[in-house]
């Protein structure tokens, strides 16, 4: 584990392997450890870098409210401090929002972009539902969201057969810094509007992936992103909910690897 510092903030990151730089960005309430199965496989071919977003894990927990630009600045600083001329970026859920915003602002820094289980263009009903969850978190604390999240994120069969993996995710959610989580979750509930407006500025080769049964980051949302990004491919993984990189690592790893190889000069 290593740290970089900038302004008053610190980013905890980890890297393994050599080759093309490949950066993974986790989702809200999680941390770099969610990518372990990607690190194990893809570090054989790439310089794999994972890190904790602001308000999460071992990185700084600045006071809220948070803005999407703070997370883009954090990623930009990491890329610059590690002296990476061009990177391949994979963003999951809230991390996908950060990745898309970064790609819109710094296209010259990106070789490929993978947008995984991303929210896009929420309907009024979807917006009301996430806003209600935010209010519930603010009133009752982050603990109230954990079990409902587990049920949304994982198939029942996977939960039954992989209790240790699910419990690791549950433990991460249980041990989050409450203020940082609430600030990040509040941003997650609204940032899709900002990202939606930025899609027109994304020109890099993009792979869009989600699960067939992801109720928060639906196949319809990924289809809309795909239609907005001219230089993109779409993959909907059957019989999978939100935690696609954890439930179906072989499919995810192969898709990322194949997509990068197609676009590496």
The catalytic residues are 93, 117, 242
- Are 165 and 246 spatial neighbours (Cβ–Cβ below 8 Å)? yes
- The counts of H helices and E strands in the chain are 12, 8
- Are 42 and 17 spatial neighbours (Cβ–Cβ below 8 Å)? yes
Please state, in angstroms and rounded to a whole number, the distance separating the CA atoms of residues 142 and 41: 32
- At 3 the three-state DSSP class reads strand
Closest CA to 218 of 95, 123, 114, 99: 123
Tell me the DSSP string of 41-87: HHTTTEEEEEEPPTTSTTS----S---HHHHHHHHHHHHHHTT-SSE
């Amino acid at each position: 584990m290593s740290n970089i510092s900038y302004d008053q903030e610190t980013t905890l990151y980890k890297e393994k392997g050599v080759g093309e730089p490949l950066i993974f960005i986790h989702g809200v309430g999680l941390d770099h450890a969610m990518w372990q199965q990607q690190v194990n496989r893809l570090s054989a071919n790439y310089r794999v870098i994972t890190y904790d977003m602001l308000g999460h894990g071992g990185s700084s927990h600045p006071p809220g409210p948070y803005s999407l630009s703070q997370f883009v600045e954090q990623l930009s600083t990491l890329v610059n401090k590690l002296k990476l001329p061009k990177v391949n970026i994979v963003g999951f859920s809230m991390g996908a929002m950060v990745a898309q915003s970064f790609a819109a602002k710094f296209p010259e820094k990106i070789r490929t972009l993978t947008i995984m289980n991303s929210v896009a263009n929420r309907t009024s009903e979807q917006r009301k539902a996430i806003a209600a969850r935010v209010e519930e978190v603010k009133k009752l604390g982050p603990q109230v969201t954990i079990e409902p999240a587990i049920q949304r994120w994982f198939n029942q069969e996977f939960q039954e057969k992989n209790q240790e993996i699910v419990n690791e995710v549950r433990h991460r959610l249980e041990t989050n810094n409450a203020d940082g989580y609430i600030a990040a979750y509040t941003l997650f509930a609204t940032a899709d509007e900002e990202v939606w407006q930025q899609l027109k500025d994304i020109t890099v080769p993009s792979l869009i992936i989600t699960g067939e049964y992801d109720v928060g980051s639906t196949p319809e949302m990924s289809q809309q992103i795909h239609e907005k990004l001219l230089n993109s491919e779409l993959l909907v993984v059957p019989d999978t909910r939100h935690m696609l990189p954890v439930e179906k690592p072989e499919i995810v790893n192969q898709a990322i690897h194949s997509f990068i190889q197609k676009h590496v000069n």
